[in-house]
Amino acid sequence: MSKRKKLLISILGLISLCILASGISSLSNKNLLIPTEVAETIPPLDKARLAETLHLKAELGEEVWLGWSQLEIPILLWTEETSFLVGYPVQPAGWDEVKEDTSNDKPYYRQDTEDHQNFAVLIDGRWVASLATKSEMDYFIINQFMDMLPAPINQIIPYRLFIQPTEAHISGVLHETFHVYQTLMAPDKLGLAEDRYNLDADYWDIDENMRDDWKEEVELLVQALEAESDAETIIFITQFLEQREQRRENHDLDNELINFERLIEWEEGVAKYVEIAIWKQAFSSPNYLPLPEMSQDPDFKDYKTFEQRWNQEIMTMKNQANQEGDTRFYYTGMAQSFLLDRLNPDWKTSIMAENVWLEELLQEAIGNN
């Protein structure tokens, strides 16, 4: 066979594969559930995901944080135009009971809303954990890509590749329930953390000049997390704490800006730790069984992708040194929390107290080892 003929066959083969891939992508996209009307009830798959979230918290929550799983924390799941309130003990003012449905065999409530939050929110004097449904998050991702890309390319992109696994949503809801726990256990400290956001502009004005120092700081945290022995971990933590102190001196951070870092690491970093730790616990617990209905969820991986997720989180953490915004502190707080697990498992008994910070507990931990 001539080289020209072989090349032609190869090209035709590639074209055929592209056409086949495009067809499969289009079919896959059609099978994604896209909302066409305002939801009157929680979509069945999202309801199953919520049931698994509560099941996971009840079964393994105490392994992550004593007392957290024992709190019955209502959950608000929202879509673009609707909010659903689950686990609330009585019908709150301004909410309608969903007559045609239940969640975990209990009534839940519905309200038309357009102003949403992913955090702890107060409803009728009771704190609830609020997050978008996974379906809503998936729709948002798909629509963002569809709006950015021209037709017909936006019809053949395999959007399912960009959709997060269900475990990310489950752990995300539990992240928000931990904010409720913080609000109940340490209301003054959480209030201070929220107030510190008033210093946002002041902090980020000087941040760009700190980024090289931040890169070293984050890298030392990563090295501490990846260390194979406690002795090696202590070396990297010591260097991290020294680098942190030096950075603050180099850039003249006053006590308010230092506490800005500490409070957000406490508020968001510890919640991020719980988010990842509960996924890790489900992954590493041989006797834990998800609810049977999760077998119907194409995005649920039985918690088996934890190691992949952990590697993604470490990569994201490294990138945060170059980014403006409080997400950096989610990761530095999370990293310090996991390091405290390694060196001082009792750290959780004191971290809710006023003026107790992750970095100080780390300093104590390396002094006691």
Cα distance between residue 77 and residue 142, in whole Å: 19
pLDDT band for position 198 (50/70/90)? Answer: very high
- Give the CA-trace dihedral at 330, 277, 316, 355, to 10 degrees: 20
pLDDT on residue 305? 96
Cα distance between residue 189 and residue 186, in whole Å: 5
pLDDT on residue 330? 98
Copy the structure tokens of residue 287: 């006797």
Lowest mean pLDDT among 35-44, 155-164, 308-317, 335-344: 155-164
Residue-wise pLDDT for 39-96, tens only, equals 889 999 999 999 999 999 999 999 999 999 999 999 999 998 999 999 999 999 999 9
76 contacts: CB under 8 Å, gap ≥ 6: 83, 84, 85, 86, 121, 123, 128, 129, 130, 131
Whether 29 shows a pLDDT value over 60: the answer reads: no
Name which residue leads in pLDDT, 13 or 203: 203
**Whether the Cβ atoms of residue 237 and residue 230 lie closer than 8 Å to each other:** no
Cα distance between residue 93 and residue 81, in whole Å: 18
pLDDT on residue 31? 47
Whether 314 shows a pLDDT value over 50: the answer reads: yes
Sheet holding 75-78, edge to edge: 96-97, 109-112, 82-86, 75-78, 126-132, 119-123
What percent of the chain stands above pLDDT 70? 85
- Pairing relation of β-strands 75-78 and 126-132? parallel
Cα distance between residue 104 and residue 97, in whole Å: 15
Lowest mean pLDDT among 14-18, 104-108, 262-266, 344-348: 14-18
pLDDT band for position 363 (50/70/90)? Answer: very high
Mean predicted confidence (pLDDT) in 221-231: 97
Mean predicted confidence (pLDDT) in 322-348: 96
Q: What count of Cα atoms within 13 Å lies in the side-chain half-sphere of residue 241?
A: 18
Q: Which helix (H) or strand (E) is 78 found in, with range?
A: strand 75-78
Domain ranges of the chain: 44-182, 186-367
Whether 28 shows a pLDDT value over 50: the answer reads: no
Q: What percent of the residues of the chain are helix, what percent strand, and what percent coil, each to the nearest 5?
A: 65, 10, 30
Whether 352 shows a pLDDT value over 80: the answer reads: yes
**Whether the Cβ atoms of residue 174 and residue 118 lie closer than 8 Å to each other:** no
pLDDT on residue 242? 98
pLDDT on residue 143? 72
Residue-wise pLDDT for 242-277, tens only, equals 999 999 999 999 999 999 999 999 999 999 999 999
pLDDT on residue 152? 61
Query: What DSSP state is assigned to residue 80?
Result: S
Residue-wise pLDDT for 98-138, tens only, equals 998 999 899 999 999 888 888 999 999 999 999 999 989 88
Closest CA to 289 of 45, 61, 70, 60: 60
70 contacts: CB under 8 Å, gap ≥ 6: 61, 62
Name which residue leads in pLDDT, 298 or 11: 298
pLDDT band for position 140 (50/70/90)? Answer: confident
